[in-house]
Structure 1
């Protein structure tokens, strides 16, 4: 059994990830800003820790990660059009998580990013979308440059559809939709396969069972 610290522990992907991890025999540690979520998260089998992504410093992240075997960064600044939170959550939250993991001696780190963020943006890109893409791009670059045992998962357009159990996963996978539930299952499978360390992959709906897709990624 492993303890998996999840930054952004009440997010939509994270809420599904808790159940996926519990089913695999792991203990998710949902890191959230408020006690208000405790009962809901504990009902999913998660432990709960308090962490303010925007206000806390890396040392607080390290304390929150203590005793964990891996960190998953699954936080996002939301879809409310707040440009500043793309920086303080999507980028700085990731940077502090990376440093916190290093300080805590937690090597394994999986980051949930977004598909296509390395591609050039059209001139007419909205300010909000540009801020989001640049935050995810820079966070991924920082993780790749770290000495952590990282994996980066870049989902396509997220949906709330039920899990299909079948995906397309790989560096060259084209844009498309993917269910959040399938993203959660892929992240859980990646955490169970150390051969995925150092891999960056796009993730969309597909026809390959999750276990086979992760196995192929690591082969």
Structure 2
């Protein structure tokens, strides 16, 4: 498969690119900053410089020619303001979906956030004035991006991981529409995405995921 990863310089994205290329597939990391190209290429992936906040879906679609599936792993990141939570975490995901449709790409995997639908609407407004309010905007952005994807006639999967860790992967998880609060290594999130793509599982399913006792392929297969 040839898989494009938006937010290609993120930690999960780099891990995913390495896992895909090690498995013999082609990965394309979409990055905004040209300085990040070398890091993407070190994983064995190809880097494409494209700013999701600046491109329209037509321009992005041109860069997705020949791609079989897309993954949204982008995010405004720590320290960014409420406005960029919406322009990257929400609007970037929508632009990627629009471009996928224009390119005839049916498979889309979204990396979202646990509890995205529980945001406080009274605080998730722009401009947000404090750290908690910015976090509420972030959850709103993720929830609205997920809702946009669910409404499309794409073969989508929405992955909502718990707290992210930089520890070694376990290869076993707990999944469900909702699961108790917990954490998960970033490498296991990447593996969840990879197996969903390569095994063609969890299509049309939104689920939360934390570390657990079930091997990743079996956990995803049980979701449908």
- What TM bracket, shorter-length normalisation? over 0.9
Map of 2:177 onto structure 1: 171
User: Is structure 2 residue 19 aligned with structure 1 residue 13?
Assistant: no
Is the contact between residue 119 and residue 140 of structure 2 (CA under 8 Å) also seen in structure 1?
no
Deviations 1:91-124 (A, max 9, x none): 0001101101001111100000001111253978
**Superposition map of 1:117-132 within 5 A:** 117-121=116-120, 126-132=132-138
Map of 1:37 onto structure 2: 36
Map of 2:23 onto structure 1: 24
With structure 2 as the length reference, what TM-score do the two structures score?
A: 0.92
Q: Shift in Å at residue 39 of structure 1?
A: 2.2
**Superposition map of 1:1-219 within 5 A:** 2-121=1-120, 126-218=132-224
Tell me the distance in 1 between the aligned counterparts of 2:168 and 2:123: 34
Tell me the distance in 1 between the aligned counterparts of 2:29 and 2:110: 15
Runs of 4+ displaced beyond 4 Å: 122-125
SS of the residue 1:62 aligns to: helix
Is the contact between residue 31 and residue 64 of structure 1 (CA under 8 Å) also seen in structure 2?
no
RMSD over aligned Cα atoms: 1.5
Is the contact between residue 123 and residue 136 of structure 2 (CA under 8 Å) also seen in structure 1?
no
Unmatched segments (≥5 aa) in structure 2: 125-131
Tell me the distance in 2 between the aligned counterparts of 1:120 and 1:82: 17
Distance 1:38 1:141, change over 3 A: same
Q: Shift in Å at residue 81 of structure 1?
A: 4.2
Number of equivalences: 217
